[in-house]
């Protein structure tokens, strides 16, 4: 496909030019200048926003986390504990997280009308129901584009625990697709030992010259993607230290716990600190059809320690105001406890936890009935949540991205954000 | 009446109505105590089947133990607590409560000779309590949750089994860890699902004291989906070596409990995705020589002091009382 860059008019380029122009006009990041130029201030504010998603793979139980129903027919053996927010109780499996609930909020009224893993994951990550023949960008790709930072050479959408480049950006193009990181610096990101820095530099200059010559005659969208990918990889090589959690002091590693999730959350913090717009970590596995309580005890022990450490760090470092944190799953689990002490898939009444950025701290949106089988107040679904995430980081979720001259709708236009959750 | 496992049949079905969890007969055999997912405890008069149910813990109860004379029953709750009750109070009321562990009290046992109580929990500790609930000692040494306890019937020894398949043998007086049985076959770490599963669900010593039976599960190819089979491991008490593995091939479930019958053979209760079974085994053989499928999945089992009756708790809210002898006319 021939590249079409008729006027260099894609939205972000214009916006970036305005933004850079404002910078050239003399204001300092965060300084008085930003306040006197509303457009630049909004742009600056948006560009400083970040998103972290913790995906609880398999479907974490809302009853063992955010919406406990102790001493009911569906309650199970765990009790509810108070949190830092008066009147808000969560499961006793999350004692460390409970301390931080004044920085977070709960949506307890999700009805996604789906009990299938694949479809549920799609709903939550793409904000729509999966439709044959239709491709939409992942939340990460949307954020990578919408929160793109002109001054940051690192990828915009990183999956910690993934292993390769994803194809989840749809019409936004591969530049915004996920880059998988396996808990340590990316493979082959170190300059080969036999290659000196000078030789490497010369080699790359030669490659760039050859590339530029080639592009004068044969530039296409594909060649641009290759170029972008290559340059991104080079940039990433210069910043590989960002991905190395081993550089953290032992006390930090201990704080996050000696689990894979602990390491991944610590890495997530490093990535967010370094301006990556969207980071996703996963924790596995919550698909507990059998022995739900033993497995949640085990898994949530890891989660509670790592997640609470992360929230504590984001707060202590003043990053909560600019970082949206979302803990999501593909669905919840059945209130009814099965014969094997398990809980099955349940998309009818479940919860997510989110906080930071423009999310109202300590809020509880919606409610389920006494034993958690139905939503009884403020029903919402994945579409509302998707809009809410984007609104929370200052994006107009009802707006469009200009892609190749076409306006593409960012989020499902049949939904809106949960307005009362946004400050 | 003579015990004849082959003739085992259900003699009573007592309905509670909500899923049941644990059960134990009191030492006199007059009562069966059980617990339910509805947070109540139940006392069943064995002769009549009459039920008394009452609210007890703030959570589920996973174990019972009795004073040697049977006058006091102690319930072990997932609310950190032990609660002491008079066995035959018309309306049971707590005699005392002890916050015993941080997290679930998973298992409890009483030393018959002394009345000393042992408890084990999710805090990975084994604790000893005087008969009136005063703390005596705490044994540290497990690196996973403590699932089962057993006092040696004649020696001053306590065994504690955990999720990882380790069984520690403690000297009760000194708290010294004397040896560890390796029952790792009862533990699985599933790399794909990233979960630990299995554990030593129960322990029993043979009547002659020569064999230790450890019960649980193996072949856990899908722990989260309940794909696993019951397994008993027999260990030589003297040298601590494993002498036999007793799988129940083709039955999907967990071995919840194994007890020895008077003749030295074993009865094991299994329950899970494949339903509920009573399995009958001989210590010299690998495979069950007889099995009885029950109407619903089993969650716990106990032998009546008469050696003939077996009680099982079920998900369908019933106690099933089986008799291991021929039906009377």
Residue B94 forms contact with A (CB below 8 Å): no
The pLDDT value recorded for residue B274 is 96
> What radius of gyration do chain B's Cα atoms show?
18
User: Distance (Å) from the C-alpha of residue A294 to the closest C-alpha of chain B?
Assistant: 9
Decide if pLDDT at B203 tops 50.
Answer: yes
Q: In A37-175, which ranges are continuous DSSP H helix?
A: 38-47, 95-98, 117-126, 139-146
Interface A:B, Cβ pairs < 8 A: 68
The pLDDT value recorded for residue A378 is 98
> Span A342-364, mean pLDDT?
98
Q: What percent of chain B has pLDDT over 70?
A: 100
| A142-151, A385-394, B208-217, B301-310, range with the lowest pLDDT | A142-151
Decide if pLDDT at A228 tops 80.
Answer: no
> Span B282-288, mean pLDDT?
98
Question: In terms of C-beta density within 10 A (0-12 exposed, 13-18 middle, 19 or more buried), how is residue B263 classed?
Answer: exposed
Residue B313 forms contact with A (CB below 8 Å): no
pTM over 0.80: yes
Chain B residues inside the 8 Å CB shell of A77: 59-60, 78, 104
User: Distance (Å) from the C-alpha of residue A203 to the closest C-alpha of chain B?
Assistant: 42
Question: Cα–Cα–Cα angle for B59, B61, B67, nearest 5°?
Answer: 135
Mean pLDDT of chain B: 97
Decide if pLDDT at A109 tops 50.
Answer: yes
Q: Which residue among B38, B59, B271 sits closest to A73, beta carbon to beta carbon?
A: B38
Chain B residues inside the 8 Å CB shell of A78: 59, 78
Decide if pLDDT at A10 tops 60.
Answer: no
Structure-token pair, residue B267: 């009865």
The pLDDT value recorded for residue A231 is 76
Q: Decide if A77 and B59 are in contact by the 8 Å CB cutoff.
A: yes
Residue of A nearest to B61 (CA): A77
Q: Which residue among B58, B145, B226 sits closest to A290, beta carbon to beta carbon?
A: B226
Q: Decide if B223 and A295 are in contact by the 8 Å CB cutoff.
A: yes
User: Distance (Å) from the C-alpha of residue B237 to the closest C-alpha of chain A?
Assistant: 30
The pLDDT value recorded for residue A3 is 45
User: Distance (Å) from the C-alpha of residue B241 to the closest C-alpha of chain A?
Assistant: 29
Residue B197 forms contact with A (CB below 8 Å): yes
Structure-token pair, residue A319: 């990053």
Decide if pLDDT at B120 tops 60.
Answer: yes
Helix (H) or strand (E) holding A21: helix A11-24
- DSSP per position, A263-316: HHHHHHHHHHHTT-SEEEEEEE----SSSHHHHHHHHHHHHHHHHHHHHHHHHH
The string of pLDDT tens digits covering residues A27-39 is 333 333 334 455 6
Answer whether A72's CB lies under 8 Å from A317's CB.
no
Mean pLDDT of chain A: 88
Residue of A nearest to B313 (CA): A339
The pLDDT value recorded for residue B38 is 98
Residue of B nearest to A287 (CA): B224
Residue B184's CB is within 10 A of a number of other CB atoms, namely: 12
Answer whether B226's CB lies under 8 Å from B284's CB.
no
SS3 B74: strand
Residue A12: pLDDT band with limits 50, 70, 90: very low
User: Distance (Å) from the C-alpha of residue B202 to the closest C-alpha of chain A?
Assistant: 16
> Span A55-74, mean pLDDT?
98
The Cα A400–Cα B89 span in angstroms is 72
Residue B227: pLDDT band with limits 50, 70, 90: very high
The pLDDT value recorded for residue A24 is 31
Residue B225 forms contact with A (CB below 8 Å): yes
Answer whether B11's CB lies under 8 Å from B311's CB.
no
Decide if pLDDT at A44 tops 70.
Answer: no
Q: Decide if B194 and A287 are in contact by the 8 Å CB cutoff.
A: no
Q: Which residue among B38, B194, B315 sits closest to A339, beta carbon to beta carbon?
A: B315
The pLDDT value recorded for residue A31 is 34
Residue B122 forms contact with A (CB below 8 Å): yes
The string of pLDDT tens digits covering residues A158-180 is 999 877 788 999 999 999 999 99
Residue of A nearest to B163 (CA): A294
Helices A292-316 and A260-273 cross at an angle (nearest 10°) of 30
Q: Decide if B223 and A79 are in contact by the 8 Å CB cutoff.
A: no
Decide if pLDDT at A41 tops 70.
Answer: no
Residue B196 forms contact with A (CB below 8 Å): yes
> Span B288-292, mean pLDDT?
98
Decide if pLDDT at A404 tops 60.
Answer: yes
Decide if pLDDT at A348 tops 60.
Answer: yes
Q: What percent of chain A has pLDDT over 70?
A: 88
Residue of A nearest to B256 (CA): A340
Nearest to A113 by CA among A407, A283, A345, A307: A345
């Amino acid at each position: 496909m021939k590249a079409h860059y008729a006027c260099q008019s894609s939205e972000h380029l214009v916006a970036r030019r305005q933004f850079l122009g404002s910078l050239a006009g003399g204001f300092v990041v965060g300084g008085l200048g930003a306040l006197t130029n509303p457009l630049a201030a909004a742009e600056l504010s948006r560009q400083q926003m970040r998103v972290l998603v913790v995906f609880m793979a398999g479907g974490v139980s809302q009853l063992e986390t955010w919406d406990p129903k102790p001493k009911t027919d569906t309650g199970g053996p765990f009790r509810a504990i108070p949190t830092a927010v008066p009147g808000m109780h969560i499961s006793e499996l999350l004692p460390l997280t409970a301390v931080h609930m004044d920085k977070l909020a709960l949506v307890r009224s999700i009805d996604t009308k789906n009990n299938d893993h694949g479809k549920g994951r799609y709903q939550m990550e793409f904000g729509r129901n999966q439709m044959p023949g239709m491709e939409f960008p992942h939340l990460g790709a949307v954020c990578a584009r919408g929160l793109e930072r002109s001054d940051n050479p690192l990828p915009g959408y990183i999956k910690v625990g993934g292993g390769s480049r994803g194809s989840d950006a749809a019409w936004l193009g591969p530049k915004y697709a996920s880059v998988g990181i396996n808990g340590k610096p990316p493979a082959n990101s170190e300059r080969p030992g036999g290659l000196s820095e000078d030789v490497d530099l010369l080699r790359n200059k030669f490659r760039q010259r050859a590339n530029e010559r080639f592009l004068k005659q044969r530039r296409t969208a594909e060649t641009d993607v290759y170029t972008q990918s290559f340059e991104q990889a080079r940039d990433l090589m210069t910043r590989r230290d960002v991905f190395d959690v081993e550089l953290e002091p032992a006390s930090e590693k201990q704080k996050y716990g000696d689990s894979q999730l602990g390491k991944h959350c610590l890495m997530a913090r490093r990535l967010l600190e370094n301006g990556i717009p969207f980071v996703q970590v996963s924790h596995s596995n919550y698909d507990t059809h059998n022995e739900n309580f033993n497995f949640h005890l085990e898994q949530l022990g890891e989660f509670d320690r790592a997640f609470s450490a992360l929230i504590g760090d984001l707060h202590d470092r003043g990053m909560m105001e600019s970082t949206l944190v979302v803990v999501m799953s593909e669905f919840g689990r059945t209130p009814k406890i099965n014969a094997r002490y398990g809980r099955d898939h349940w998309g009818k009444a479940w919860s997510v936890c989110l906080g930071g950025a423009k999310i109202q701290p300590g809020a509880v949106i919606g409610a389920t009935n006494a034993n958690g089988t139905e939503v009884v107040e403020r029903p919402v679904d994945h579409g509302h949540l998707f809009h809410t995430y984007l609104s929370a980081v200052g994006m107009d979720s009802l707006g469009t991205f200009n892609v190749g001259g076409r306006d593409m709708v960012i989020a499902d236009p049949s939904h809106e954000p949960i307005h009362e959750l946004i400050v | 009446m003579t015990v004849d496992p082959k003739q085992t049949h259900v003699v009573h079905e007592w309905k509670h109505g909500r899923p049941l969890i644990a059960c134990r007969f009191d030492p006199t055999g007059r009562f069966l105590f059980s617990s339910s997912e509805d947070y109540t405890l139940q006392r069943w008069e064995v002769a009549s089947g009459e039920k008394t149910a009452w609210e007890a813990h703030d959570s589920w109860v996973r174990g019972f133990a009795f004073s040697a004379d049977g006058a006091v029953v102690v319930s072990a709750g997932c609310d950190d607590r032990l609660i002491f009750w008079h066995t035959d109070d018309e309306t049971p009321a707590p005699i005392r409560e002890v916050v015993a562990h941080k997290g679930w009290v998973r298992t409890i046992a009483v030393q018959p000779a002394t009345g000393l109580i042992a408890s084990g929990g999710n805090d990975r500790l084994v604790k000893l309590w005087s008969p009136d609930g005063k703390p005596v000692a705490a044994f540290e040494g497990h690196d996973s949750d403590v699932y089962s306890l057993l006092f040696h019937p004649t020696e001053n020894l306590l065994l504690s089994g955990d999720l990882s398949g380790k069984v520690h043998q403690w000297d009760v007086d000194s708290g010294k860890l004397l040896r560890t049985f390796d029952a790792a076959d009862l533990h699985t770490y599933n790399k794909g699902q990233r979960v630990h599963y299995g554990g030593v669900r129960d322990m029993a010593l043979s009547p002659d004291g020569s064999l230790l039976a450890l019960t649980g599960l193996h072949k856990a190819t899908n722990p989260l989906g309940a794909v696993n089979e019951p397994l008993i491991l027999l260990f030589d008490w003297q040298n601590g070596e494993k002498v036999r593995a007793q799988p129940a091939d083709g039955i999907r479930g967990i071995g919840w409990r194994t007890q020895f019958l008077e003749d030295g053979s074993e009865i094991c209760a299994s329950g899970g995705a494949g339903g509920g079974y009573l399995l009958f085994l001989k210590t010299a053989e690998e495979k069950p020589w007889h099995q009885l499928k029950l109407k619903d999945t089993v969650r716990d089992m106990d032998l009546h002091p008469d050696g003939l009756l077996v009680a099982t708790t079920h998900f369908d809210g019933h106690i099933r009382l089986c008799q291991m002898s021929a039906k009377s006319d």
